[in-house]
Structure 1
Amino acid sequence: MAKFTILVSIGELARTAATSSQEARREQMRSLVGSSGWPHGGLLITSVDAESGESRVWTAADGIPAYLAVAASTAVPGQWYPKPPRAL
């Protein structure tokens, strides 16, 4: 089975699982990471697109708060809903 096929299958399971609310996840990450921006301009935060299985690297240049990139990066399939940072 191809790498992307496996990742897409995991993403499908994650998207259909009963999970905690997106608001709870957003608030948890905001309290852990803070909401004052990116701590370092060179920080790279990785995640995997739950629909395509492709890797993504988030940076300050993407225009989203670091805590949302961390939320995407640490989404555990079946526990936290895999939502792109722009939608969190």
Structure 2
Amino acid sequence: MFKKHWTYEYIVPIWNSPNLEEVLVQARIPFKKRGEARKSEYIKLFPTNGKYAESEKVELEVFKNNLMKIRDTNMSDFIDFCLKSAVLLTIK
């Protein structure tokens, strides 16, 4: 996929087996809802409001460490990349 795109060498697919929800459960993410309704909780798990940045960093570090123990995903690589990028953005 994307083999002819100029960014191909930078693209790293994120995989979750069998699916994202199962990996999040294994990473000890607390869900209140089940099935399709669970997807509405993602915004609470991954908020995008800057005022939560410092507390999110701690939570994301814990999340990343939990993900590193799960063999069914490489999402910890993505979370690590995001954390490092956020540090670089705050330094500028």
> Do both proteins adopt the same fold according to a TM-score greater than 0.5, normalized to the shorter chain?
no
RCO higher in 1 or 2 (8 Å CA, sep ≥ 6)? 1
Given the two structures, how large is their TM-score scaled by the length of structure 1?
0.28
Structure number having the greater helix percentage: 2
Given the two structures, how large is their TM-score scaled by the length of structure 2?
0.28
